[in-house]
């Protein structure tokens, strides 16, 4: 039986009975001037979905899969670009549209050189070519105009390659700030007259430097979780509590003379400077620097 049976409309009209009988065996395509115009087929051909529920289930599963695929791509934090085997764009998600500044219709069938900045496009194209050839995923970073840092992931797909990219400028900045803060803390710990400590929003000690522990005689585990006012001479406790409250409320830097009480009951004189730690523009604690009085520093140095 032929895969396709076609008959001109004039021939169909002349022998309608014959072609009706043929349509019971397989669909008959009725043409007009060489083009398909109508299809004559038995009723069971149109009822196939009902007679073969597994086909309907497969189509529903495929539709569900496509919906999930679309939802996944549109809710990625990364930009996604799909490339054909010839490295032309076959699809993008909303993040990629926003970053590249074009709609997916405008981006369709374009190449990497046409959508990324000049210095970046060559790098992206090289990775696309290599992954297309080796079928092994690759990752790389690159800086773009404006000081932004992008992280890329190129990976093979059943047809072509996929590209994920993420703007990690903020992560890079936070990492650098953390490294700088760590270096600053180490430098402070190396000073004989300055000690570092960190307080939460209720004035409880979260972290202390080595110098603070040496002066007071407490180790870090003994004082973390305790209020800083509990280590302060009675005459300074109210002023310290008021100053800490003001620093957190006004988001300002302030300080005051404070006498600390050591583990053996010894008094340590100096000035405590407090600065708020801001998270989402709301203070979540404070960093403190305790600076010894000159006489106190000289005495401790002689004792050490």
CB 156 within 8 A of CB 169: no
Q: Do 248 and 291 share a domain, yes or no?
A: yes
Looking at the fold, whether 205 and 280 belong to one and the same domain comes out as yes
Q: How far is the CA of 102 from the CAs of 90, 93, 96, 256, in angstroms? A: 14, 11, 9, 57
**Residue 177: inside a domain:** no
- The domain that holds 225 is classified in CATH as 3.30.450.20
Q: How many folded domains does the chain comprise?
A: 3
- What separation in angstroms does the CA of 231 have from each of 194, 234, 241? 17, 9, 12
Q: Does residue 70 belong to any structural domain of this protein?
A: no
Q: How confident is the model at residue 62 (pLDDT cuts 50, 70, 90)?
A: low
Question: Is residue 296 domain-resident?
Answer: yes
Contacts of 141 (CB under 8 A, 6+ apart): 149, 150, 151, 152, 168
Question: Of 167, 191, 215, which residue is a domain's last?
Answer: 167
Summarize the chain as % helix, strand, coil (round to 5): 45, 30, 25
pLDDT exceeds cutoff 70 at 47: no
What distance in Å separates the CA atoms of residue 230 and residue 254, rounded to the nearest whole number?
20
Domain CATH number, residue 15:
3.40.1620.10
The answer as to whether 85 is a domain residue is yes
User: Which pLDDT does position 1 carry in this prediction?
Assistant: 41
Cα 260 to Cα 197: distance, rounded to the nearest angstrom: 13
Q: What is the pLDDT of residues 85-128, one digit of tens each?
A: 999 999 899 989 988 888 888 998 888 888 888 778 889 999 99
Tell me, yes or no, whether 54 lies in a domain: no
Do 203 and 261 belong together in one domain? yes
Whether residue 141 is found in the same domain as residue 192: no
What pTM was computed for the model?
Answer: 0.52
- Give start and end residues of each alpha helix (H) in 7-148: 9-14, 16-23, 43-46, 48-51, 53-74, 94-100, 104-107, 112-115, 118-134
Confidence at residue 302, expressed as pLDDT on a 0 to 100 scale: 55
Our CA angle for 258, 269, 297, nearest 5°, is 140
Domain that residue 280 falls in: 183-303
**End-to-end CA distance of the chain, in Å?**
105
């Amino acid at each position: 039986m032929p895969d396709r049976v076609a008959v001109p409309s004039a021939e169909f009209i002349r022998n309608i009975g014959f072609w009706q009988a043929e349509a019971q065996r397989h669909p008959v395509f009725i043409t007009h001037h060489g083009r398909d115009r109508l299809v004559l087929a038995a009723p069971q051909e149109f009822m196939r979905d009902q007679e073969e529920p597994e086909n309907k289930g497969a189509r529903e599963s495929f539709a569900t899969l496509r919906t999930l695929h679309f939802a996944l791509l549109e809710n990625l934090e990364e930009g996604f670009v799909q490339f054909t085997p010839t490295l032309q764009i076959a699809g993008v998600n909303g993040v990629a549209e926003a970053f590249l500044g074009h709609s997916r219709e405008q981006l369709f069938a374009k190449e990497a050189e046409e959508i990324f900045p000049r210095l970046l496009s060559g790098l992206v194209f090289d990775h696309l070519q290599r992954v297309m050839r080796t079928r092994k995923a690759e990752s790389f970073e690159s800086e773009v105009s404006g000081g932004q840092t992008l992280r890329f992931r190129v990976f093979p797909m059943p047809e072509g390659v996929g590209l994920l990219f993420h703007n990690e400028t903020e992560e890079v900045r936070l990492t650098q700030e953390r490294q700088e803060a760590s270096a600053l803390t180490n430098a402070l710990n190396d000073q004989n007259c300055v000690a570092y400590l960190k307080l939460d929003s209720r004035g409880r000690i979260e972290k202390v430097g080595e110098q603070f522990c040496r002066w007071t005689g407490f180790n870090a585990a003994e004082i973390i979780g305790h209020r800083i006012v509990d280590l302060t001479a009675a005459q300074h406790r109210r002023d310290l509590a008021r100053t800490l409250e003001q620093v957190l409320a006004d988001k300002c830097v302030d300080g005051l003379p404070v006498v600390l009480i050591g583990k053996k009951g010894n008094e340590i004189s100096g000035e405590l400077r407090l600065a708020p730690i801001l998270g989402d523009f709301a203070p979540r604690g404070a960093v403190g620097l305790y600076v010894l009085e000159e006489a106190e520093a000289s005495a401790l140095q002689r004792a050490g």
